[in-house]
Protein backbone atom coordinates (compact mmCIF):
# COMPACT_ATOMS: atom_id res chain seq x y z
CA UNK A 1 0.00 0.00 0.00
CA UNK A 2 1.29 3.48 -0.88
CA UNK A 3 2.27 5.66 2.07
CA UNK A 4 -0.09 8.55 2.89
CA UNK A 5 0.47 11.82 1.01
CA UNK A 6 0.62 15.24 2.74
CA UNK A 7 -3.00 15.75 1.68
CA UNK A 8 -3.96 12.42 3.32
CA UNK A 9 -2.26 13.52 6.55
CA UNK A 10 -4.06 16.87 6.51
CA UNK A 11 -7.31 14.99 6.00
CA UNK A 12 -6.58 12.63 8.91
CA UNK A 13 -5.95 15.64 11.16
CA UNK A 14 -9.10 17.37 9.98
CA UNK A 15 -11.17 14.30 10.81
CA UNK A 16 -9.36 13.43 14.05
CA UNK A 17 -11.92 13.27 16.88
CA UNK A 18 -9.13 14.04 19.38
CA UNK A 19 -7.70 17.05 17.51
CA UNK A 20 -9.09 19.57 20.03
CA UNK A 21 -7.03 18.05 22.87
CA UNK A 22 -3.76 19.38 21.46
CA UNK A 23 -4.83 22.85 22.62
CA UNK A 24 -5.05 21.49 26.15
CA UNK A 25 -1.24 21.06 26.22
CA UNK A 26 1.53 23.61 26.50
CA UNK A 27 4.03 22.76 23.78
CA UNK A 28 6.77 25.01 22.40
CA UNK A 29 5.82 26.48 19.02
CA UNK A 30 7.14 24.53 16.06
CA UNK A 31 8.45 21.62 18.12
CA UNK A 32 7.45 18.10 17.15
CA UNK A 33 7.46 16.30 20.46
CA UNK A 34 7.69 12.53 20.08
CA UNK A 35 9.02 11.63 23.51
CA UNK A 36 5.73 11.41 25.43
CA UNK A 37 6.58 7.76 26.02
CA UNK A 38 9.36 9.06 28.26
CA UNK A 39 7.93 12.30 29.69
CA UNK A 40 4.42 13.35 28.70
CA UNK A 41 3.81 16.99 27.75
CA UNK A 42 2.40 19.57 30.19
CA UNK A 43 -1.39 19.79 30.30
CA UNK A 44 -2.37 23.46 30.73
CA UNK A 45 -4.87 22.40 33.39
CA UNK A 46 -2.06 20.78 35.39
CA UNK A 47 -0.18 24.08 35.54
CA UNK A 48 -3.34 25.91 36.64
CA UNK A 49 -4.24 23.33 39.27
CA UNK A 50 -0.69 23.28 40.60
CA UNK A 51 -0.79 27.04 40.99
CA UNK A 52 -4.06 26.73 42.92
CA UNK A 53 -2.76 23.86 45.05
CA UNK A 54 0.34 25.84 45.95
CA UNK A 55 -1.27 29.22 46.59
CA UNK A 56 -4.86 28.53 47.66
CA UNK A 57 -4.26 25.22 49.44
CA UNK A 58 -0.71 24.88 50.73
CA UNK A 59 -0.20 28.66 51.00
CA UNK A 60 -3.54 29.46 52.65
CA UNK A 61 -4.94 26.39 54.30
CA UNK A 62 -1.61 24.91 55.41
CA UNK A 63 -1.95 21.71 57.41
CA UNK A 64 -5.74 21.73 57.42
CA UNK A 65 -5.61 21.24 53.63
CA UNK A 66 -4.96 17.53 54.26
CA UNK A 67 -8.63 17.15 55.12
CA UNK A 68 -10.18 20.42 53.90
CA UNK A 69 -8.82 20.12 50.33
CA UNK A 70 -9.09 16.35 49.86
CA UNK A 71 -5.33 15.73 50.00
CA UNK A 72 -5.58 12.67 52.19
CA UNK A 73 -7.97 10.96 49.79
CA UNK A 74 -5.93 11.86 46.70
CA UNK A 75 -4.13 8.49 46.25
CA UNK A 76 -7.45 6.60 46.24
CA UNK A 77 -9.35 9.28 44.32
CA UNK A 78 -6.80 9.52 41.50
CA UNK A 79 -6.37 5.73 41.57
CA UNK A 80 -10.12 5.39 41.05
CA UNK A 81 -9.86 7.59 37.96
CA UNK A 82 -6.89 5.65 36.56
CA UNK A 83 -8.92 2.47 37.10
CA UNK A 84 -11.28 3.68 34.38
CA UNK A 85 -8.39 3.84 31.91
CA UNK A 86 -7.36 0.25 32.53
CA UNK A 87 -10.64 -1.62 33.00
CA UNK A 88 -10.55 -1.94 36.78
CA UNK A 89 -12.99 -1.13 39.58
CA UNK A 90 -12.28 2.17 41.40
CA UNK A 91 -11.18 0.47 44.63
CA UNK A 92 -8.73 -1.80 42.80
CA UNK A 93 -6.23 0.97 41.93
CA UNK A 94 -4.28 3.36 44.13
CA UNK A 95 -1.55 5.89 43.39
CA UNK A 96 1.65 5.38 45.34
CA UNK A 97 5.43 5.62 45.14
CA UNK A 98 7.26 4.88 41.89
CA UNK A 99 6.74 1.98 39.49
CA UNK A 100 9.94 0.39 40.79
CA UNK A 101 8.80 0.56 44.41
CA UNK A 102 5.32 -0.69 43.54
CA UNK A 103 6.85 -3.61 41.64
CA UNK A 104 8.86 -4.49 44.73
CA UNK A 105 5.88 -4.34 47.07
CA UNK A 106 3.68 -6.45 44.83
CA UNK A 107 6.33 -9.03 43.95
CA UNK A 108 7.17 -9.65 47.60
CA UNK A 109 3.50 -9.75 48.58
CA UNK A 110 2.68 -12.21 45.80
CA UNK A 111 5.67 -14.48 46.54
CA UNK A 112 4.64 -14.62 50.17
CA UNK A 113 1.12 -15.59 49.12
CA UNK A 114 2.53 -18.58 47.17
CA UNK A 115 4.89 -20.09 49.77
CA UNK A 116 5.42 -23.54 48.22
CA UNK A 117 6.65 -22.29 44.86
CA UNK A 118 10.29 -21.39 44.25
CA UNK A 119 10.31 -19.49 40.98
CA UNK A 120 9.59 -15.91 39.95
CA UNK A 121 9.31 -16.07 36.17
CA UNK A 122 9.99 -13.26 33.71
CA UNK A 123 11.18 -12.74 30.17
CA UNK A 124 14.61 -11.61 29.00
CA UNK A 125 15.16 -8.08 27.71
CA UNK A 126 12.52 -6.32 29.80
CA UNK A 127 13.01 -2.78 31.13
CA UNK A 128 15.96 -2.92 33.54
CA UNK A 129 14.15 -1.75 36.68
CA UNK A 130 11.69 -4.63 36.38
CA UNK A 131 14.54 -7.13 36.19
CA UNK A 132 16.64 -5.55 38.95
CA UNK A 133 13.69 -5.30 41.34
CA UNK A 134 12.48 -8.81 40.54
CA UNK A 135 15.96 -10.25 41.15
CA UNK A 136 16.36 -8.59 44.53
CA UNK A 137 12.79 -9.30 45.64
CA UNK A 138 13.21 -12.97 44.75
CA UNK A 139 16.52 -13.14 46.62
CA UNK A 140 15.07 -11.50 49.75
CA UNK A 141 12.17 -13.96 49.70
CA UNK A 142 14.50 -16.94 49.25
CA UNK A 143 13.22 -17.63 45.72
CA UNK A 144 14.81 -17.72 42.29
CA UNK A 145 14.25 -15.38 39.34
CA UNK A 146 14.12 -17.33 36.07
CA UNK A 147 14.23 -15.35 32.82
CA UNK A 148 13.18 -17.06 29.60
CA UNK A 149 12.83 -15.96 25.98
CA UNK A 150 9.44 -14.49 25.14
CA UNK A 151 8.53 -17.49 22.97
CA UNK A 152 9.42 -19.90 25.79
CA UNK A 153 7.10 -18.38 28.33
CA UNK A 154 4.50 -21.07 28.12
CA UNK A 155 7.08 -23.84 28.56
CA UNK A 156 8.48 -22.00 31.59
CA UNK A 157 5.12 -21.98 33.37
CA UNK A 158 5.08 -25.00 35.67
CA UNK A 159 3.95 -25.94 39.18
CA UNK A 160 7.04 -24.31 40.70
CA UNK A 161 6.19 -20.82 39.43
CA UNK A 162 4.73 -18.52 42.07
CA UNK A 163 4.50 -15.36 40.00
CA UNK A 164 4.98 -14.23 36.43
CA UNK A 165 6.17 -10.62 35.96
CA UNK A 166 5.79 -9.07 32.52
CA UNK A 167 5.66 -5.67 30.88
CA UNK A 168 2.48 -5.55 28.81
CA UNK A 169 3.98 -3.26 26.15
CA UNK A 170 7.71 -3.66 25.58
CA UNK A 171 9.78 -0.47 26.05
CA UNK A 172 11.82 -1.06 22.89
CA UNK A 173 9.81 -3.28 20.55
CA UNK A 174 6.29 -2.01 21.53
CA UNK A 175 5.10 -5.62 21.31
CA UNK A 176 2.01 -6.25 23.41
CA UNK A 177 1.23 -9.48 25.18
CA UNK A 178 -2.27 -10.89 24.88
CA UNK A 179 -3.13 -10.23 28.51
CA UNK A 180 -6.16 -12.53 28.71
CA UNK A 181 -4.30 -15.45 27.18
CA UNK A 182 -1.26 -15.07 29.44
CA UNK A 183 -3.42 -14.70 32.55
CA UNK A 184 -5.38 -17.83 31.66
CA UNK A 185 -2.23 -19.91 31.06
CA UNK A 186 -0.55 -18.69 34.22
CA UNK A 187 -3.66 -19.35 36.29
CA UNK A 188 -3.92 -22.86 34.83
CA UNK A 189 -0.39 -23.45 36.17
CA UNK A 190 -1.39 -22.01 39.56
CA UNK A 191 0.73 -18.85 39.20
CA UNK A 192 -0.21 -15.20 39.67
CA UNK A 193 0.65 -12.55 37.07
CA UNK A 194 1.96 -9.04 37.70
CA UNK A 195 1.78 -6.66 34.70
CA UNK A 196 3.81 -3.50 34.20
CA UNK A 197 1.55 -1.26 32.09
CA UNK A 198 3.98 1.68 31.85
CA UNK A 199 3.98 1.46 28.04
CA UNK A 200 0.34 0.60 27.46
CA UNK A 201 -1.98 2.40 29.91
CA UNK A 202 -3.47 5.39 28.10
CA UNK A 203 -2.35 4.33 24.60
CA UNK A 204 -3.71 0.79 24.27
CA UNK A 205 -6.92 -0.88 25.29
CA UNK A 206 -6.37 -2.59 28.63
CA UNK A 207 -9.03 -4.59 30.45
CA UNK A 208 -7.58 -5.71 33.77
CA UNK A 209 -10.86 -7.05 35.18
CA UNK A 210 -12.09 -8.62 31.96
CA UNK A 211 -8.77 -10.38 31.32
CA UNK A 212 -8.69 -11.82 34.84
CA UNK A 213 -5.53 -9.89 35.82
CA UNK A 214 -4.22 -10.33 39.35
CA UNK A 215 -1.79 -7.45 39.82
CA UNK A 216 -0.46 -4.50 37.86
CA UNK A 217 1.64 -1.36 38.13
CA UNK A 218 2.13 1.60 35.81
CA UNK A 219 4.01 4.81 35.39
CA UNK A 220 2.42 8.25 35.85
CA UNK A 221 4.85 10.41 33.89
CA UNK A 222 4.79 8.83 30.42
CA UNK A 223 1.53 8.53 28.48
CA UNK A 224 -0.49 9.59 31.53
CA UNK A 225 1.19 13.03 31.28
CA UNK A 226 1.46 13.38 35.06
CA UNK A 227 4.73 15.36 35.01
CA UNK A 228 8.35 14.65 35.87
CA UNK A 229 8.59 12.07 38.64
CA UNK A 230 4.80 11.71 38.83
CA UNK A 231 3.81 8.94 41.23
CA UNK A 232 2.99 5.51 39.86
CA UNK A 233 -0.16 3.46 40.37
CA UNK A 234 -0.81 -0.11 41.39
CA UNK A 235 -3.72 -2.48 40.87
CA UNK A 236 -4.75 -5.46 42.97
CA UNK A 237 -7.80 -7.46 41.92
CA UNK A 238 -10.40 -7.23 44.64
CA UNK A 239 -10.26 -11.01 45.22
CA UNK A 240 -6.59 -10.77 46.29
CA UNK A 241 -6.67 -7.65 48.41
CA UNK A 242 -7.27 -9.25 51.79
CA UNK A 243 -4.64 -11.93 51.13
CA UNK A 244 -1.70 -9.71 50.26
CA UNK A 245 0.27 -7.46 52.57
CA UNK A 246 2.88 -4.87 51.68
CA UNK A 247 6.47 -5.51 52.79
CA UNK A 248 6.77 -1.74 53.28
CA UNK A 249 4.45 -1.44 56.26
CA UNK A 250 4.27 2.34 56.43
CA UNK A 251 1.84 4.39 58.46
CA UNK A 252 -0.24 5.45 55.45
CA UNK A 253 -1.07 1.79 54.83
CA UNK A 254 -2.27 1.31 58.40
CA UNK A 255 -5.97 0.70 59.06
CA UNK A 256 -6.04 3.83 61.26
CA UNK A 257 -2.93 5.96 60.57
CA UNK A 258 -4.02 8.74 62.90
CA UNK A 259 -4.47 6.43 65.89
CA UNK A 260 -0.67 6.23 66.05
CA UNK A 261 -0.98 2.67 67.35
CA UNK A 262 2.24 0.85 68.30
CA UNK A 263 1.40 -2.18 66.14
CA UNK A 264 0.91 -2.37 62.40
CA UNK A 265 -2.58 -3.30 61.29
CA UNK A 266 -2.99 -3.17 57.50
CA UNK A 267 -5.86 -1.15 56.03
CA UNK A 268 -8.67 -3.41 54.85
CA UNK A 269 -8.46 -2.69 51.09
CA UNK A 270 -5.82 -1.63 48.61
CA UNK A 271 -4.84 1.32 50.85
CA UNK A 272 -2.61 -1.15 52.74
CA UNK A 273 -0.18 -0.75 49.83
CA UNK A 274 0.38 2.91 50.61
CA UNK A 275 3.55 3.52 52.55
CA UNK A 276 4.45 7.11 53.36
CA UNK A 277 2.93 10.56 52.88
CA UNK A 278 1.61 11.04 49.33
CA UNK A 279 3.27 13.69 47.08
CA UNK A 280 0.31 16.05 46.84
CA UNK A 281 1.68 18.48 44.27
CA UNK A 282 2.60 15.64 41.91
CA UNK A 283 -0.77 14.03 42.50
CA UNK A 284 -2.44 17.33 41.66
CA UNK A 285 -0.73 17.48 38.28
CA UNK A 286 -1.42 13.80 37.61
CA UNK A 287 -5.10 14.18 38.41
CA UNK A 288 -5.46 17.08 35.96
CA UNK A 289 -3.85 14.96 33.26
CA UNK A 290 -6.02 11.92 34.01
CA UNK A 291 -9.17 14.06 33.87
CA UNK A 292 -8.23 15.01 30.31
CA UNK A 293 -7.68 11.39 29.35
CA UNK A 294 -11.03 10.37 30.79
CA UNK A 295 -12.63 13.04 28.66
CA UNK A 296 -10.83 11.75 25.54
CA UNK A 297 -11.60 8.09 26.38
CA UNK A 298 -9.38 5.08 25.87
CA UNK A 299 -10.85 3.59 22.66
CA UNK A 300 -10.28 6.86 20.78
CA UNK A 301 -6.77 7.30 22.23
CA UNK A 302 -5.78 3.71 21.45
CA UNK A 303 -7.15 3.88 17.90
CA UNK A 304 -5.31 7.13 17.19
CA UNK A 305 -2.02 5.94 18.70
CA UNK A 306 -2.20 2.85 16.50
CA UNK A 307 -3.02 4.85 13.36
CA UNK A 308 -0.23 7.36 14.06
CA UNK A 309 2.16 4.41 14.36
CA UNK A 310 0.90 2.84 11.13
CA UNK A 311 1.37 6.13 9.28
CA UNK A 312 4.89 6.56 10.70
CA UNK A 313 5.87 3.03 9.66
CA UNK A 314 4.36 3.35 6.17
CA UNK A 315 6.14 6.66 5.53
CA UNK A 316 9.43 5.45 6.98
CA UNK A 317 9.32 2.27 4.86
CA UNK A 318 8.96 4.42 1.75
CA UNK A 319 11.37 7.26 2.59
CA UNK A 320 13.87 5.79 5.04
CA UNK A 321 14.69 2.23 3.94
CA UNK A 322 17.98 2.37 5.89
CA UNK A 323 16.00 2.32 9.15
CA UNK A 324 15.18 -1.14 10.47
CA UNK A 325 11.79 -1.11 12.22
CA UNK A 326 11.76 -3.26 15.35
CA UNK A 327 8.07 -2.83 16.23
CA UNK A 328 5.02 -4.74 14.94
CA UNK A 329 4.09 -3.55 11.44
CA UNK A 330 1.10 -1.53 10.21
CA UNK A 331 -2.24 -2.98 11.21
CA UNK A 332 -0.78 -5.07 14.04
CA UNK A 333 -1.24 -4.67 17.80
CA UNK A 334 1.39 -2.30 19.11
CA UNK A 335 2.14 -0.06 22.10
CA UNK A 336 2.32 3.71 21.77
CA UNK A 337 5.66 4.15 20.02
CA UNK A 338 7.56 3.14 16.93
CA UNK A 339 11.26 2.29 17.02
CA UNK A 340 14.01 1.72 14.48
CA UNK A 341 17.51 0.32 14.69
CA UNK A 342 20.37 2.16 12.98
CA UNK A 343 24.12 2.05 13.59
CA UNK A 344 24.23 5.88 13.68
CA UNK A 345 21.11 6.26 15.85
CA UNK A 346 22.81 8.73 18.23
CA UNK A 347 23.94 11.08 15.45
CA UNK A 348 20.53 10.88 13.77
CA UNK A 349 18.74 11.77 17.01
CA UNK A 350 21.02 14.75 17.57
CA UNK A 351 20.38 15.94 14.00
CA UNK A 352 16.62 15.51 14.45
CA UNK A 353 16.83 17.68 17.56
CA UNK A 354 18.40 20.46 15.47
CA UNK A 355 15.49 20.10 13.05
CA UNK A 356 12.93 20.51 15.85
CA UNK A 357 11.97 16.87 16.31
CA UNK A 358 12.35 15.27 19.74
CA UNK A 359 12.55 11.48 20.02
CA UNK A 360 14.72 9.34 22.25
CA UNK A 361 17.42 6.76 22.13
CA UNK A 362 17.70 3.29 23.64
CA UNK A 363 21.16 2.01 22.63
CA UNK A 364 21.16 1.82 18.82
CA UNK A 365 17.39 2.18 18.72
CA UNK A 366 15.53 5.41 17.89
CA UNK A 367 12.13 5.65 19.60
CA UNK A 368 9.26 7.96 18.74
CA UNK A 369 6.32 8.16 21.13
CA UNK A 370 2.95 8.90 19.58
CA UNK A 371 0.89 10.39 22.39
CA UNK A 372 -2.58 10.59 20.88
CA UNK A 373 -3.74 13.74 22.67
CA UNK A 374 -1.14 16.07 21.18
CA UNK A 375 0.66 14.42 18.27
CA UNK A 376 -0.88 15.22 14.87
CA UNK A 377 -0.68 13.14 11.71
CA UNK A 378 1.09 16.01 10.00
CA UNK A 379 3.69 16.00 12.82
CA UNK A 380 4.45 12.42 11.85
CA UNK A 381 4.84 13.51 8.21
CA UNK A 382 7.25 16.28 9.23
CA UNK A 383 9.17 13.94 11.53
CA UNK A 384 9.72 11.47 8.68
CA UNK A 385 10.85 14.32 6.43
CA UNK A 386 13.36 15.33 9.10
CA UNK A 387 14.45 11.72 9.48
CA UNK A 388 15.02 11.44 5.74
CA UNK A 389 17.26 14.51 5.85
CA UNK A 390 19.04 13.36 9.00
CA UNK A 391 19.74 9.96 7.45
CA UNK A 392 21.20 11.57 4.36
CA UNK A 393 23.58 13.53 6.63
CA UNK A 394 24.34 10.65 9.02
CA UNK A 395 27.88 9.24 9.24
CA UNK A 396 28.20 5.93 7.47
CA UNK A 397 28.59 3.17 10.03
CA UNK A 398 28.26 -0.54 9.56
CA UNK A 399 26.84 -3.04 12.08
C1 LIG B 1 8.46 -0.61 31.63
C2 LIG B 1 8.94 0.37 32.65
N3 LIG B 1 8.74 0.12 33.95
C4 LIG B 1 9.18 0.97 34.91
C5 LIG B 1 9.84 2.14 34.57
C6 LIG B 1 10.40 3.04 35.64
O7 LIG B 1 9.46 3.41 36.54
P8 LIG B 1 9.77 4.35 37.79
O9 LIG B 1 10.75 5.38 37.34
O10 LIG B 1 8.43 4.93 38.10
O11 LIG B 1 10.28 3.52 38.87
C12 LIG B 1 10.05 2.44 33.23
C13 LIG B 1 10.72 3.70 32.87
O14 LIG B 1 10.95 4.03 31.74
C15 LIG B 1 9.59 1.53 32.24
O16 LIG B 1 9.80 1.78 30.95
**pLDDT per residue as tens digits for the range 144-164:** 999 999 999 999 999 999 999
Q: Note the pLDDT of residue 2.
A: 86
- Determine the residue of 37, 96, 170, 171 to mutate for testing ligand 1's pocket, defined as the one with the most ligand atoms within 8 A of the Cβ atom: 171
CA neighbours closer than 13 Å in the CB half-sphere of residue 163: 28
Nearest residue (by CA) to ligand 1, atom 3, is 198
Tell me the CA–centroid distance for residue 102 and ligand 1, in Å: 11
What is the tens place of the pLDDT at every residue in 186-223?
Answer: 999 999 999 999 999 999 999 999 999 999 999 999 99
What is the tens place of the pLDDT at every residue in 32-52?
Answer: 999 999 999 999 999 999 999
Q: Note the pLDDT of residue 102.
A: 98
Tell me the pLDDT of the chain averaged across its residues. Answer: 97
Q: Note the pLDDT of residue 398.
A: 53
**Closest residue by Cα to residue 182 from 160, 150, 159, 205:** 150
What is the tens place of the pLDDT at every residue in 249-308?
Answer: 999 999 999 999 999 999 999 999 999 999 999 999 999 999 999 999 999 999 999 999
Report the alpha-carbon distance of residue 294 to residue 290 in Å, rounded. Answer: 6
pLDDT interval class at 395 (50, 70, 90): confident
Q: Note the pLDDT of residue 394.
A: 77
pLDDT interval class at 397 (50, 70, 90): low
CA neighbours closer than 13 Å in the CB half-sphere of residue 114: 24
**Closest residue by Cα to residue 125 from 93, 154, 141, 147:** 147
Determine the number of helices (DSSP H) and then strands (DSSP E) in the chain.
14, 15
pLDDT interval class at 396 (50, 70, 90): low
**Closest residue by Cα to residue 170 from 110, 128, 208:** 128
Q: Which atom of ligand 1 is nearest to the CA of 126?
A: 1
221 given a catalytic annotation: yes
Query: What predicted TM-score, i.e. pTM, was given to this entire model?
Result: 0.97
Tell me the CA–centroid distance for residue 371 and ligand 1, in Å: 17
33 given a catalytic annotation: no
Amino acid sequence: MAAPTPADLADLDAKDPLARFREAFDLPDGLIYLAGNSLGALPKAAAARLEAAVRAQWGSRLVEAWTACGWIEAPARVGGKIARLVGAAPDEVIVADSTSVDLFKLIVAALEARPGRQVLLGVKGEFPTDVYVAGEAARLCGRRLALVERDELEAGLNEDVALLVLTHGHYRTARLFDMGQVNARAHAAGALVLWDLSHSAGVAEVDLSGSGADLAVGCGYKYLNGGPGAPAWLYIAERHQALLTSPLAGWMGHAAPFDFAPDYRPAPGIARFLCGTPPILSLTALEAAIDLMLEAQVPAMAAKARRLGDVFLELAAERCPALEPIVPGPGQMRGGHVAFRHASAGAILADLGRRGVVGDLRGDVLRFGLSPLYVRYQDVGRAVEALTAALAAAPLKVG
